[in-house]
Structure 1
Amino acid sequence: MKMPYNFKLFLSLSFFFAFGFGLIAILVRLNKMDRFDKLVTTYFQDFETSFLTNIMQSFTYIGSMSFIHILAFVIFILFYFFLKDRSKLLLFIIVLLGSHYLFRLLKQFFKRARPDFHRLIEIGGYSFPSGHATNAICIYGILTFVLWHHIPARWGRFIFSIFSIFMILSIGLSRIYLGVHFPSDVLAGYLAGGFLLTMIIGCYQFVIVKIDERTS
């Protein structure tokens, strides 16, 4: 099933995500998110058990660059040699690289220190926005998009969409639970990643439409 062209919708969503990120960034700069961050972090860490900590560490690993490199290699093999959909493969690579450099640039710009209360794992670097959250929404979002018309059954597409949403939320939540990110970091990561994802997809669909018009 071919996914319909919705480049105007995706570009509109990109502006929405950009506005949301800008709003969160301003509130963080003004220290208006401190109470929210503390309350949400405390709520999730109240569920702390050794078993749950192990699960959250697993989700954090799935969102790490080490695992993303493995996933990217598998996707490359799948699309290049089996599905032979090289335009979608290029789209996946662009989103993957864009996500990586976007959150790094934003971290260097904002230079927000990580939480210092009840951290369950140790990690360096800046906190805002969450790189795990940015990568999660970009990677699982673009996977849903590029695999959409390769999954023939509607129930299959629905299940894969639910799986992607579950992974995005679980990876972000793991960072809050483990105490290495403020909730506002994770929210900002989702918004920054959502902006990049929808903007690139919107531009991609615009190009595809123009190509179709020239060849029709």
Structure 2
Amino acid sequence: MKPSYRPFPSLLLTALFCAAGFGIIAALVGTSHTDGFDSALISAIQGMESAPLTRIMQSFTFIGAGLPAGLLACLLAVVLYICCGLRRELLFFFAVPGGSWLLNELLKLLFHRERPALYRLAEAAGYSFPSGHSMAAFSLYGVFLFLVWRHVPSLPVRILLLLFGAFMIVMVGISRIYLGVHYPSDVAAGFMASGCWLAFAIGVYRRYSGPGFERVPARL
């Protein structure tokens, strides 16, 4: 009898929740109801401007850019291969960020939102909504954590990995706001869109990959 994978319905619900969140943000952006929120958060984040902080934010944005992000993905793939012994899973590892990039391109063409015309510390081409850097970071670190999770039974190490992944995702998003190339609503929508794709992809993968991806209980 073919095994049934219960995580799929919950992951599907997560994907639907994120899709709904993205739809709400998109609707609010379309009716200019995010203008006050965007302006207030941009002012607060850019109000912390300093030369050292600018260099830090430029570093996070650089990490989330196309070529550096690709090189980082290759490095993480090496970690998964050497430390976790994953092989066939690497195709899935690269497919998730690739799908996120394609989804971002399609959404930007659909919404055609121009980038902020306010104070900028960097330049960026293309449309603004949703943030591609935010989507790339969410999908890359999210799929990495998913694949490495069952190979790290230690609870403290798992917590550290989660904190690291969350930190990188948030900092990439904040860096785009700080540098003036994205609205906060772009970043939030990027997280929601990528969260939807990631949850759906993981749900399908767990459903059809076989029993090898059953969760391994953590231990102290």
Do they superpose with TM above 0.5?
yes
Secondary structure at the counterpart of residue 119 of structure 1 = coil
Counterpart of 2:218?
none
Counterpart of 1:21?
22
Aligned residue type for 2:152 = I
Counterpart of 1:133?
134
Change (3 A) 1:84 1:209: closer
Aligned residue type for 1:69 = G
Secondary structure at the counterpart of residue 86 of structure 1 = coil
Change (3 A) 1:160 1:81: closer
Distance 2:212 2:77 in 1: 24
- The Cα shift of 1:196 comes to 0.4
1:76-105 per-position Cα deviation (integer Å, ceiling 9, x unaligned): 333445533223212211101101111111
Distance 1:56 1:5 in 2: 40
Counterpart of 1:153?
154
How many corresponding residue pairs? 209
Structure 2 unpaired stretches of 5+: 214-220
Counterpart of 1:62?
63
Counterpart of 2:34?
33
Aligned residue type for 2:91 = L
Distance 1:163 1:211 in 2: 25
Aligned residue type for 2:130 = P
Contact 1:107 1:126 in 2 (8 A): yes
Secondary structure at the counterpart of residue 153 of structure 2 = coil
Distance 2:83 2:58 in 1: 33
The structure where helix makes up a greater share of residues is 1
RMSD of aligned Cα (Å): 1.8
Change (3 A) 1:124 1:110: same
TM-score, length basis structure 1: 0.91
Distance 1:138 1:166 in 2: 14
1:140-178 per-position Cα deviation (integer Å, ceiling 9, x unaligned): 111111010122311111100000000000000000011
Counterpart of 1:101?
102
Contact 1:5 1:209 in 2 (8 A): no
Q: Deviating runs (4+, > 4 A) in structure 1?
A: 209-212
Structure 1 unpaired stretches of 5+: none
Secondary structure at the counterpart of residue 117 of structure 2 = coil
TM-score, length basis structure 2: 0.90
Counterpart of 1:45?
46
